[in-house]
Amino acid sequence: MGIKIIKREGQSFKDRIYLPAIFSGMWVTLKHFLRNLSDTSNIKTLCYPEEQPIDITSRYRGVHLLTKRDDGSVRCVACFMCATACPAECIFIEAKEREDGVDEKMPEIFTIDLLECVFCGGCVEACPCDAIRMDSGIFSFVAQKREDFLLTKDKLLSHESMKGTIC
């Protein structure tokens, strides 16, 4: 008559004396213990500073980099799209005229403040020339002073892309 009787688990005598369940649980933990004790290479722990992670893909948003043209000059045309898109307002660009005829503009100063950056990837999305990327794979950045967290243009150009050369 519409009444659904749900069978309660854990009411049998075996369940109510607890001990069989406790012993089976202890058997599980003992198996883990013995497996790891007999061969510690079974443990997947990464001993970090000595071992670096190998599973960082090119889609990982690490520290930024500025890409280069085939002739090694900066690809950025100082259009300020990234600085405009940046929600943390951590990109500081000063443009100058490009003299070598490859393009019209290039950045004089291109600085990213890593302490302000939220690593959202907005600048990469906004860039029309594929000039700024975050696929350097650098996940750890440390410094002694606040000023050292300001990444200059030279520093950004020196980071290598994980995808290799840009098409």
Give 27 or 70: the residue with its C-beta nearer to another protein: 27
Nearest distance, CB of residue 142 and another protein, angstroms: 19
Give 39 or 100: the residue with its C-beta nearer to another protein: 39
Dist CA 150 CA 115 (whole Å)? 8
According to DSSP, the residues that pair with 124 across neighbouring strands are none
Nearest distance, CB of residue 41 and another protein, angstroms: 8
Q: Does 109 bind another protein (CB under 8 A)?
A: no
Nearest distance, CB of residue 51 and another protein, angstroms: 6
Torsion of CA 25, 29, 32, 37, to 10 degrees: -150
Give 4 or 44: the residue with its C-beta nearer to another protein: 44
The single residue among 9, 11, 50, 164 that binds another protein, judged by CB under 8 A, is 50
Could you report how far apart the first and last alpha carbons of the chain are, in Å? 71
**Neighbouring C-alpha atoms within 13 Å toward the C-beta of 7:** 3
| 80 Cβ neighbours under 8 A, 6+ residues apart | 93, 95
Q: Which of residues 2-41 bind another protein (CB under 8 A)?
A: 19, 22, 25-26, 28-30, 32-33, 36-41
DSSP structure class, residue 50: T
Q: Which residues bind another protein (CB under 8 A)?
A: 19, 22, 25-26, 28-30, 32-33, 36-45, 47, 50-51
